[in-house]
Amino acid sequence: MDTHTASLVRRRRLRRGALILTLAAIAWFALRNRIEAPPPAPRAVAAVPATLVRVQREDVPNYLIGVGTVQPLSTVTVKTRLDGQLERVGYVEGEDVKAGQVLAQLDARALRAQLEQVQAQKARDQAQLANARLDLDRYTQLIKEDATSQQTLDTQRALVAQVQAAVQTDDAQIHYAQVQLSYATITAPLAGRVGARLVDPGNIVHASDANGLVVINQIDPIAAVFTLPGDAVQAINRAQQAGRQLTVLAYSRDGDALLARGKLVLVNNQIDVASGTVQLKAHFANPKHVLWPGQYVNVRLRLGEYAQALTVPAPVVQRGQSGTYAYVIGADGKAQMRPIEVLQTQDGKAVVAKGLQAGETVVLYGQYKIKPGVAVVAGPGAAAAATGAGR
């Protein structure tokens, strides 16, 4: 190899070595930058939208809630007091009747004959009494003239008393016959709604018949019987002893429609040991017959009210394994899961005893997207929800 060729080879080797050194330096600087560069900042979690409301302070009625059954205020099975043939009825099935209205008429011919017989007996005895009194007056004059004996006068006095007693007996028999005759006309003992006719005209009825002729239910006013837990008795007694007339509201089974407003008339005198409940009764005016015997109703007994209680819409209250809680939005805009104690939930509103403060912001809808510590912003519908909560 000549000198020129050796020099060329040497230069190529130098260039190759320089290139290798350059690449090694670039790789070393890249690796150093990767090691010393700070880690990238985590992506910020977006705030979760939710419907928010504020905790309100207001007066709220204090209700005890139960389930009841509507019953007639009074129920009467109309029966005959006599044995006889039913001639006619004076009512239409399923219609209202008034107290004293004629419901049925029995064949009364034999009873009228008995009345006429005792009336004739009285007339005969009255004639005998008048004659005996005339004789007594004559004997009284004769005894003054010493024209008769004292024994005759005494006998006549006894006869007058005897015939007078017979007239009194006739009066009693007439009264009895009149009463028996009145039983042939059967009238309504109270105003109410009659049911189905149990006996048709032409049948022979008996005083011993178990079913009677017809049943009358008094449905205006009407009653409702309901039960509450036995623990409520003391609260009810305290309210009554304070002189308050307790109001009872009857709602439809779905709880939406108020049917009637009445008053509490009975707290039963013992608690049922089997169920732990006490039976109560309320009376309601029922002119439009919105309540009907046998109807099931939801009943609310108003004991008073919670003055300036903390309230939130019912959906704010959540339930977990540890009890009830609500998501509260703090000043930093983040959600806190806070345990709360609820006194009652009624008409879509919950009364909170512990855990919240007036004016705090809580989550109404959207809890399923929220976890403690997550930022929350008011989403669509928040304004409307806040307006509704403040009503």
User: Of 174, 204, 234, which closes a domain?
Assistant: 204
- 367 and 380 in a single domain? The answer is yes
pLDDT reported for residue 149: 85
Mean pLDDT of 99-117: 95
- 260 and 346 in a single domain? The answer is no
Question: No. of H helices and E strands in the chain?
Answer: 5, 20
In angstroms, rounded to a whole number, what is the distance separating the alpha carbons of residues 311 and 340? 12
- 223 and 315 in a single domain? The answer is no
Number of domains in the chain: 3
Residues 6+ apart with CB under 8 A from 163: 125, 128, 129, 132
- 192 and 250 in a single domain? The answer is no
Mean pLDDT of 73-81: 95
pLDDT reported for residue 12: 67
Which tokens go with 159? 């006869």
Using alpha carbons, list the distances in angstroms from residue 307 to 10, 57, 185, 304: 103, 9, 59, 9
Q: DSSP class of residue 242? A: T
Residues 6+ apart with CB under 8 A from 48: 335, 366, 369, 370, 374, 375, 376, 377
Residues 6+ apart with CB under 8 A from 250: 68, 70, 224, 258, 259, 260, 261, 262, 282, 284, 291, 297, 298, 299
For residue 30, being part of any structural domain is answered with no
Mean pLDDT of 326-345: 91
State yes or no: pLDDT of 21 exceeds 90: no
- 268 and 282 in a single domain? The answer is yes
Mean pLDDT of 139-153: 85
State yes or no: pLDDT of 348 exceeds 90: no
pTM given for the model:
0.69
| Of 11 and 121, the one with more pLDDT | 121
User: Of 145, 172, 204, which closes a domain?
Assistant: 204
Q: DSSP class of residue 334? A: B
CB-based contact 336:330 (threshold 8 Å): yes
Closest CA to 209 of 77, 74, 75, 76: 77
pLDDT in tens, 55-64: 999 998 888 9
State yes or no: pLDDT of 234 exceeds 90: yes
Across the chain, what does the average pLDDT equal? Answer: 87
pLDDT reported for residue 271: 95
pLDDT reported for residue 176: 96
Mean pLDDT of 277-297: 96
In angstroms, rounded to a whole number, what is the distance separating the alpha carbons of residues 227 and 242? 22
pLDDT tier, 170 (very low <50, low <70, confident <90, very high otherwise): very high
In angstroms, rounded to a whole number, what is the distance separating the alpha carbons of residues 366 and 327? 10
Mean pLDDT of 89-98: 94
Mean pLDDT of 139-148: 84
| Of 391 and 347, the one with more pLDDT | 347
- List beta partners, residue 346: 349
In angstroms, rounded to a whole number, what is the distance separating the alpha carbons of residues 214 and 189? 12
- List beta partners, residue 52: 363
- 287 and 313 in a single domain? The answer is no
- 333 and 384 in a single domain? The answer is yes
In angstroms, rounded to a whole number, what is the distance separating the alpha carbons of residues 20 and 149? 181
In angstroms, rounded to a whole number, what is the distance separating the alpha carbons of residues 144 and 147? 8
For residue 15, being part of any structural domain is answered with no
State yes or no: pLDDT of 388 exceeds 50: no
DSSP H helices in the chain: 3-36, 109-144, 150-183, 232-241, 382-389
In angstroms, rounded to a whole number, what is the distance separating the alpha carbons of residues 78 and 196? 12
- 276 and 377 in a single domain? The answer is no
State yes or no: pLDDT of 107 exceeds 90: yes
State yes or no: pLDDT of 240 exceeds 70: yes
Mean pLDDT of 194-215: 94
CB-based contact 67:299 (threshold 8 Å): yes
For residue 229, being part of any structural domain is answered with yes
For residue 34, being part of any structural domain is answered with no
State yes or no: pLDDT of 43 exceeds 60: no
For residue 257, being part of any structural domain is answered with yes
Count the Cβ atoms, other than its own, within 10 Å of residue 146.
7
pLDDT reported for residue 90: 93
pLDDT reported for residue 358: 92
User: Of 263, 289, 307, which closes a domain?
Assistant: 307
State yes or no: pLDDT of 69 exceeds 80: yes
Percentage of the chain exceeding pLDDT 90: 63
State yes or no: pLDDT of 197 exceeds 80: yes
